[in-house]
């Protein structure tokens, strides 16, 4: 139980830093830390492979992309002189709190059923055999999606460059 609380605390702290930090690079690295702490939670929950995957993909690739792009655009030296729109802040926080309340209600009402743990054998082999049998179509769709994403990135990124060369 102690480990649970500790990990949740860490994740919450870093999550808050992501949202409320002034500088975006700080936000990016705190996102990295949140993702790593989520990986730790996975590990603690027993799904070891997923934590490895989480570290490898989320922390290892996506977060890097963020920092990478931030450095490319050197976001830092932007003067952030935009005025803080008070009314928007209030409305947004209010509605988000309402949504949070609704979700909390959902969990509160069925916390008993949710928290009992019935561990099926979660050996990775059995689980991932399922990936290639019952979920074969989504798996193929995912590959197609990835391919499309790669092509999209190449096109979008290079498109801009071509325009530049023309000028």
Partner 1 sequence: MLEAIIEILLKTAVILALPLGALPIIIHVERRGAAFIQKRLGPNRVGPLGLLQPLADVAKFMFKEEVHPSHVRPFFYTAAPVVALVVAILPLACIPIFAPIEIFGRSVYPEVFKSDMGIFFAFAASALGSYGILLAGWASNNKYSMLGAIRACAQMVSYELSLSTSLVAMIFLYGSNDIHVMVAEQTGYWFGFLPKWGFFLQPVAAMLFLIGIFAESNRLPFDLAEGESEIVAGYHIEYSSMKFALFFMAEYIHMIALSALFIIMFFGGYSLLPGMELIADRIPASLAILQALSLIIKVASMIWFFVWVRWSFPRFRYDQLMNLGWERLLPIGIANLIVTVLFVYFRNH
Partner 2 sequence: MSIYYYLSIFLFCLGLLGTILKKDLISMLLCLELMMGGVALLFILFSKSTGFLDAQLMVVFTLIVSACEVAVGLSLIIALYRKKQTIYTDDIKIITE
Partner 3 sequence: MYENYLALIPFFPLLAFLLNSFLIKNKLNNVQTGLITFMGLFTSFILVIMVALHVHQVGAIHVKLWEWMSYKQINFDIHFIMDELSVILCLMVTGIGSAIAFFSIGYMEHEEKVGKFFAFFALFAFSMLLLVVGENFLVLFMGWEGVGLSSYLLIGFWYEHTKNGDAAKKAFLANRVGDFGMVLGMIGYALIFNTVSFRDLQHPDLAIIAANKNLLIASSLLLVLGVAGKSAQIPLFIWLPDAMMGPTPVSALMHAATMVTAGIFLLCRVSNVIVHLSVVMDVIAWMGALTTLLAALIALTQTDIKKILAYSTVSQLGYMVMACGLGAFSTGMFHVFTHAFFKALLFLCAASVIYGCHHEQNIFKMGGLKKKMPVTYWTFLVGFLAIAGIPGFSGFFSKDEILAMAFTNPGNGIYLYTIGLISALLTAFYMMRMLVLVFIVPESHDVHDQHQHHVKEAKNHDHHEVHESPKVMTIPLIILAFCSFAAGYIGMPHIFGGHHYSRLIQNFLEKFVAPATGHTHLTEETEIIMMVVTTVLILCSMGAACYIYVVNDHVKMRDKLKAKFLKLWILSSNKFKVDELYEAIIIKPLYQVGNFLVNIVETHVVNGVVKLVTKSVDGSGHFLDDTKPERLEMGILYAVIGLTLVLTAVFNAFVF
Among partner 3, partner 2, partner 1, none, the one that 17 touches (CB under a kind-dependent 5 to 8 A) is none
Give me the residue label for tokens 């069925």: 110
64 interacts with partner 1 by CB under 8 A: yes
Tokens of residue 45, six digits: 């929950």
Q: Which does 105 bind (CB under 5 to 8 A by kind): partner 3, partner 1, partner 2, none?
A: partner 3
CA neighbours closer than 13 Å in the CB half-sphere of residue 11: 14
The reply on whether position 52 binds partner 2 by CB under 8 A is no
Q: Which stretch binds partner 1 (CB under 8 A): 62-70, 91-99, 136-144, 157-165?
A: 62-70
The neighbour count for residue 144, using CB atoms within 10 Å, is: 9
Which one of 24-32, 103-111, 126-134, 139-147 is the stretch in contact with partner 1 (CB under 8 A)?
A: 24-32
Tokens representing 56? 């490898």
Name the segment binding partner 1 (CB under 8 A); options: 63-71, 85-93, 127-135, 137-145: 63-71
**Which of 12, 71, 109, 140 is close enough to bind partner 2 by CB under 8 A?**
12
The one segment of 1-9, 54-62, 99-107, 112-120 that binds partner 1 by CB under 8 A:
54-62
Structure token pair of residue 163: 């325009």
Write the binding mask 70 to 99 for partner 3: x where contact by CB under 8 A, - elsewhere.
------------------x--xx--x--xx
Residue 154 DSSP SS3: helix
Nearest in space to 28 (alpha carbons), one of 80, 70, 72, 74: 70
DSSP annotation string for 21-73 = -SSHHHHHHHHHHHHHHHHHHHHHHT-HHHHHHIIIIIIIIIIHHHHHHHHHH
Summarize as ranges the residues that interact with partner 1 (CB under 8 A).
25, 29, 32, 48-49, 52-53, 55-56, 59-61, 63-64, 67-68, 71-72, 74, 124
């Amino acid at each position: 139980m102690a480990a649970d609380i500790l990990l949740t605390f860490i994740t919450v702290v870093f999550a808050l830093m992501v949202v409320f930090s002034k500088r975006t690079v700080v936000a990016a690295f705190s996102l990295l830390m949140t993702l790593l702490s989520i990986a730790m939670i996975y590990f603690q929950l027993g799904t070891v492979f997923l934590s490895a995957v989480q570290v490898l993909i989320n922390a290892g690739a996506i977060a890097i992309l963020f920092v990478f792009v931030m450095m490319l655009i050197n976001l830092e030296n932007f003067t952030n002189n935009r005025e803080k729109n008070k009314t928007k802040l209030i409305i947004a926080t209010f509605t988000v709190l309402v949504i949070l309340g609704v979700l909390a209600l959902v969990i509160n009402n069925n916390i008993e059923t949710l928290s009992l743990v019935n561990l099926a054998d979660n050996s990775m082999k059995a689980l991932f055999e399922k990936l290639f049998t019952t979920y074969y179509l989504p798996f193929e769709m995912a590959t197609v999606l990835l391919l499309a994403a790669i092509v999209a990135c190449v096109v979008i990124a290079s498109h801009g460059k071509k325009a530049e060369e023309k000028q």
